Structure 1
Amino acid sequence: MSLEQFRRLRDFIYEKTGIYFPDSKLYFMERRLHQRMEALDIYDLNMYYSMLRYENNGGELQAFIELLTVNETYFFREFNQLKCFAEEVLPEIVRRERGPLTFWSAGCSTGEEAYTLAIILSEMLGPENLARCKIVATDIDNKVLAFARKGCYGDRSTRHLPAPYLERYFEKGGFELRVKDELRSLVEFRRMNLIDPDEMRDIRDVDVIFCRNVLIYFDDQSRRQVALDFYQSIKAGGYVFLGHSESMSRITSIFQLCRFQNAIIYQKQPAR
């Protein structure tokens, strides 16, 4: 694949998803491109590009995007942030809000983050407050969403789970652990493209957004668009958690930086 061909394909993927691949990713994309073309018995790059661009149902574009996205995660990842959520942010929100509580795992991958949030809510809240909680978990990749809905995980994903949580929230499923139904019922998985404003408008009145290690795959313009859409989705006083190496301040100034004991996160201006 020539640099010109890579850039044409790269720009098309960016247009559709907001995910940007710099020139240094040429060989990464080329390997996955060859893998997909061989599976379809196509040996002409222009023919495959035309299929991606003009296929009516978008199925092949979705398949190629799923090959390009990286999905490495595990339960209780970036523990200090989760401690901040559990011990500092969540009690404040429960005291302040009287109605339904919504938590959004944006870019949820195979579901470990969403189920981690469900465990935290179950541990920290009594039955009355837990009953008003909902977790919405979204991703652009249908395959990882199907995996997440099954809720079956191996040792690599569950290695940081305390033994009492394994006993309370998981059951044996062959060589894997399966999330129990009562925990799964807290989470709704949806396919969503974060740079599609129409899809983003479907989620409103969110109390906390977790979008960790997702925006690093976007360019500055797409990051800003996503941040603006998050601002519309979240309640006044709501919080956004990014990855520990990410900074909302470098994207936009519309969120306030908040320094808690266990983490630095971002808040939409509270109502006065």
Structure 2
Amino acid sequence: MNNHEIDYKIYGDDMQFVEVELDPDETVVAEAGSLMMMEDDIRMETIFGDGASGGGGFMGKIFSAGKRMLTGESLFMTTFTNEGMGKKHVSFASPYPGKIIPMDLSELDGKIICQKDAFLAAAKGVSIGVEFQRKIGTGFFGGEGFIMQKLEGDGLAFVHAGGTIHRKELSAGETLRVDTGCLVAMTKDVDYSIEFVKGVKTALFGGEGLFFATLRGPGSVWIQSLPFSRLASRVFAAMPAAGGSKDEGSIAKGLFNLFDGD
């Protein structure tokens, strides 16, 4: 094992947090701002990049941090190290309603590819980098952009996604088409491309977007039922157009607003 072996427990249902148990000198790496609580004798340190390698020098750290900028993440990550004599606990919270998915990379061929904001925390030694999509169309039209995250190593990583999470196993050559925003993660052997929705009427009036992701096995894929972008768009659409407050009101209230010019 090149990664620290950590134990964990996930609490909650729709707004989850993960409690990581650290033995003396064990370390967990997390996204900046994801800390919920930690016990005494745990040292918190902000670092460039993911801290996966002990060497590499200053330029290596700058390059590691720069790769994270390409995914829209912060330059910095935070490490939490148990400097006490006994077991200590540190907890990390979900950023929005959904599920935390524990992934043992040693059982997933040492690598998974995930959407750019899915990573929550991992055992020290797991490398958090960028995955450049092989096809230009995937980058321009995919819901997750040209660049996705990759997690590499043989330790535990925790990924967060919205709504209910469904893991589907694809056999060799088996194809699955999903909304581009619903793709959470996949193993390294899954082929990922973007296809245009067939039919002009379907594309323009179907309400599902112009493109969907086509996944071809073999491998595992994780799908989320509620992408954060979809949740945010519904919240934004329900907000008042210009200040004040809108009642949940009746049809009569809606008609009054119509004739009132609001």
Interval containing the TM-score (normalised by the shorter chain): under 0.3
Greater helix percent: which structure? 1
Higher strand residue share:
2
Query: Normalization by structure 1: what TM-score?
Result: 0.23
